[in-house]
Amino acid sequence: MSSVGIKELKNRLTYYIRLAKQGEELVVTERGKPVALIQALHSATDVTTLEARLARLAAQGGVTLPNRKPSRNIKPRRVRGKPISRIILDERR
């Protein structure tokens, strides 16, 4: 595990990201005090936010993240009959 100052990280970000992708853990320091940890997603253990979980799944190939924002023009439609969840449960039996 190596440490890097914020200024150095900013100046050579691509290099340090490449190190993290290779499995290196980097401690980011501000005036000599640790403030953050940079590590590869596949080695992260305490993933708490939804965005972090999705990013980890995408890195593992479990999901494909959208490459654009969702359209706001989609309107929900009313469907008559049984709910889809009920139909799926009935089909499983």
Q: Which amino acid is at 42?
A: H
37 - beta bridge partners? 27
Domain-embedded: residue 76: no
HEC sequence for the chain: CEEEEHHHHHHCHHHHHHHHHCCCCEEEEECCEEEEEECCHHHCCCCCCHHHHHHHHHHHCCCCCCCCCCCCCCCCCCCCCCCHHHHHHHHHC
How many structural domains compose the chain? 1
Q: What is the pLDDT of residues 67-92, one digit of tens each?
A: 777 777 878 888 788 888 888 999 98
Q: Pairing state of beta strands 2-5 and 26-30? A: parallel
CATH, residue 1: 3.40.1620.10
Give the domain range for residue 56: 1-64
Phi, psi for 89 (deg, rounded to 5)? -65, -40
Q: What is the pLDDT of residues 36-63, one digit of tens each?
A: 888 887 776 665 677 667 777 777 788 8
Q: What is the pTM of this model?
A: 0.53
